[in-house]
Amino acid sequence: MRKDFNPDELPGGDFYRLLTAVVVPRPIAWVSSTSADGVDNLAPHSFFTVASVTPPIVQFTSVGRKDSLRNILERREFVVNLAPADLTAEVNATGTNFPPDVSEFDAAGLTREQSLTVDVPRVAESPVALECRLHSTLEMGDCVLVFGEVTHAAVSTDVLEGSHPRIDLLEPLARLGRDEWGHLGPVEELGRIRRSEWPGHFRRRDEPEA
């Protein structure tokens, strides 16, 4: 049995809250940007993904027109920092609605680190920084999708095995529903099935075994 939800019949942000409770876990783009006045902004955005392989493009969504979006449109560059579990309090703090003249770096006690290809600081405490130049934006309803071409990736050697980042060392944070946050749980390694190796045992759960 299921309960039906019609977005046209729900008041306010009820359907938004439903979506964010079921589209989970969501990785967090911890976006640093710099205003035209030189104020360094830092904010978490949990509508985030890889949008293209070649060229390498990442995408996050600004829900509403926030400081990150304004700064990126003005300067056309930004950094996506990985949000690690040991900085949960700081990541959450940078989501506070400070006025544009307040830097979340300073408010949350975080350290600026100079980037190599953009004039926007990285978060020194974060193990990964993706430096980006603005590729394009796409307005969709009350949101703006921001696409950034990755011009440089800086990864702490503390989280690398050779040249590969280890997920257990990255310990990425994730957003869930309401005020819930997720941490890394059990990790299962499972290769994609080749057609030539199809096992043939899949069937409906309610179908009896032969």
Digit-coded pLDDT (tens) for 63-92: 999 999 999 999 999 999 999 999 999 999
In the prediction, which pLDDT does 11 show?
83
Digit-coded pLDDT (tens) for 88-131: 999 999 999 999 999 999 999 999 999 999 999 999 999 999 99
In the prediction, which pLDDT does 77 show?
98
CB atoms within 10 A of CB 174: 18
Closest CA to 32 of 80, 73, 100: 80
What is the average pLDDT across 3-19? Answer: 93
pLDDT at 10 over 70: yes
Token pair for 39:
């104020």
Give the integer Cα–Cα distance in Å for 152 and 15.
37
pTM score of the predicted model:
0.94
Residue 160's DSSP bridge partners are: 165
Q: Supply the mean pLDDT for the chain.
A: 96
In the prediction, which pLDDT does 79 show?
98
Give the integer Cα–Cα distance in Å for 75 and 82.
21
pLDDT at 205 over 90: no
Element of type H or E holding 74: helix 67-75
Give the pLDDT band (50/70/90) at residue 210: low
Contact indicator for 153, 130 with CB cutoff of 8 Å = yes
What is the average pLDDT across 132-136? Answer: 98
